[in-house]
Structure 1
């Protein structure tokens, strides 16, 4: 079975990888990802300096997924860049993704300059599901801010760049964001980050379950798969074909991966399920995907990718 996937000029043995923020914050976990059967991996969304993040409990698994308000805990941009440079030095022909998430646009541009000036040969992800100015929504919901930061980035950044998007829920917003993204030579778009500001209740204690933001947090897992699939499909049908799609949300099985690929995803990320079960999930998911493809007579992902039928 041929699982080969492609983003731009980069080829991957299979479409699986971790979701940014999951199993990728320190060297030990990144090494596990590196040695797993995933097709690639992405580092933790980095800020210029190390951040402790929000007080705990800040991530809780719930019956159909998870809720979190992590606050961008990470070891700082330099750690992830140096890890990535060492990875490519020791693994010629393989590439990973670096994710950046500045607390303000200027920090993102600062990190992009550092990547551009480095020997990094992988893909860079600009996480637009992050804070912007006080009183403003996250950058991905501020269309003017999104367009501005991409204009500023592509004035100097000449390496492969993708963006991580929040979920959108209105057809007009799909249209408007696609119109902005199509102006730029993006390598890919990643759909979706967690569904923001959900609330999970512990009925026995009559309380919320995470400490930050009075219990409000991003929802992941099976809860969000229909929203993730909708975003993958919406952008696959609207973006220039030179822009690949990475699907993320609700992936627990080979069937879930098949659905993301059918909607048009080129790579598929695993988040809550990976957090819950560790890197062996990639082996199980690939085996299940192979079984589905065999049943349907598909030998390559490209045989069915993006070919979702309408009624």
Structure 2
């Protein structure tokens, strides 16, 4: 195929030049990667989780390598939403073509609403990703994402306050991911993203203690990919809104697999720790894959698997 493939996709009305997005927590605030990754060559990037006030996160050690990935318990360390708007966002607005998705986190619904209110008045943000899935905090995060009633209330109220499209990041630590995706859709979510990390535990057999100071952490990387692909497929069958898939993507074929399972776009996270240019490389790899497989429009891959 000599024709250049159309790599654009739309998520909740936001046009992306590529379906490959840098995931929250692995790409800083975007500006840190400006000289490494061409932000105008990837679909978008998601900021670190932004909270009402600055957060120091969990004590160390909080990242360890596993046989096929990593466990982390960062605890959503961040500078706070106001500092982000004042110190980081002005620079991001000068980067032509950068699509910014702000990840929103709070211990309570009111915390999330305050973050949304601050961001609503800021220019240069395309969408919000509501964190209803972090497993490394004692309040908020996964507490919302594993209780259908709490999730419905959280999404309903934040969507009501949002001036931008709202994507809800779901936890895999549930019995039915399809059900939780449907709850988010019914509550007004414009898209869902999944999966966040799996609650996990690693023990040092010499000290008999957890290798993570927080005791448990979130498992990510290639180890979780087959489960994540299945969950994306389940969610895509349950809802009509776009599904953004993630979990262990390290090469273009992984991204294609998620899209064939039902994802409209994908996020790349842990791979960026091993290769800071992973997101851009995977985006370029997908383009080459489409050329080699005579795919004229990448959006046509969504749900294309015969299952």
TM-score band (shorter)?
0.7 to 0.9
Alignment of structure 1 residues 64-75 onto 2, 5 Å: 64-75=68-79
Q: CA deviation at 1:188?
A: 1.3
Q: CA deviation at 1:14?
A: 1.0
Q: Which residue of 1 aligns with 2:116?
A: 112
SS at match of 1:98: strand
Q: In the alignment, is the contact (CA less than 8 A) between 1:200 and 1:208 conserved in 2?
A: yes
Q: 2:242 aligns with which of 241, 244, 247?
A: 244
Please state if 1:183 is matched with 2:186.
yes
Alpha-carbon distance between aligned partners in 2 of 1:18 and 1:93, rounded to the nearest angstrom: 14
Q: Which residue of 2 aligns with 1:77?
A: 81
Q: In the alignment, is the contact (CA less than 8 A) between 2:171 and 2:197 conserved in 1?
A: yes
Q: Which residue of 1 aligns with 2:149?
A: 144
Alignment of structure 1 residues 148-227 onto 2, 5 Å: 148-168=153-173, 170=175, 173-196=176-199, 198-203=200-205, 207-213=209-215, 216-227=216-227
Q: Which residue of 1 aligns with 2:21?
A: 17
Q: CA deviation at 1:42?
A: 0.8
Alpha-carbon distance between aligned partners in 1 of 2:61 and 2:270, rounded to the nearest angstrom: 16
Alpha-carbon distance between aligned partners in 2 of 1:166 and 1:211, rounded to the nearest angstrom: 22
Alpha-carbon distance between aligned partners in 1 of 2:260 and 2:89, rounded to the nearest angstrom: 33
Q: Which residue of 1 aligns with 2:126?
A: 122
SS at match of 1:138: helix
SS at match of 1:46: coil
Alpha-carbon distance between aligned partners in 1 of 2:30 and 2:167, rounded to the nearest angstrom: 22
Q: CA deviation at 1:283?
A: 3.9
Q: CA deviation at 1:232?
A: 1.2
Alpha-carbon distance between aligned partners in 2 of 1:28 and 1:91, rounded to the nearest angstrom: 12
Q: In the alignment, is the contact (CA less than 8 A) between 1:23 and 1:275 conserved in 2?
A: no
Which runs of no fewer than 5 residues in structure 2 stay unpaired? none
Q: 1:290 aligns with which of 267, 287, 290?
A: 287
Alpha-carbon distance between aligned partners in 2 of 1:195 and 1:94, rounded to the nearest angstrom: 30
Q: CA deviation at 1:92?
A: 5.7
Q: CA deviation at 1:139?
A: 0.6
Q: Which residue of 1 aligns with 2:65?
A: 61
Q: In the alignment, is the contact (CA less than 8 A) between 1:6 and 1:12 conserved in 2?
A: yes
Q: CA deviation at 1:200?
A: 2.3
Q: Which residue of 2 aligns with 1:261?
A: 259
Q: In the alignment, is the contact (CA less than 8 A) between 1:47 and 1:107 conserved in 2?
A: yes
Which runs of no fewer than 5 residues in structure 1 stay unpaired? none
Alpha-carbon distance between aligned partners in 1 of 2:230 and 2:63, rounded to the nearest angstrom: 25
Q: CA deviation at 1:19?
A: 1.3
Q: CA deviation at 1:2?
A: 2.3
Alpha-carbon distance between aligned partners in 2 of 1:164 and 1:275, rounded to the nearest angstrom: 21
Alpha-carbon distance between aligned partners in 2 of 1:150 and 1:231, rounded to the nearest angstrom: 20
Provide closer, same or farther for how the CA distance between residues 281 and 154 of structure 1 changes in structure 2, counting only shifts above 3 A.
closer
Q: How much is the aligned-residue C-alpha RMSD, in angstroms? A: 2.6
Q: In the alignment, is the contact (CA less than 8 A) between 1:188 and 1:245 conserved in 2?
A: yes
Give TM-score scaled by structure 1 length. 0.86
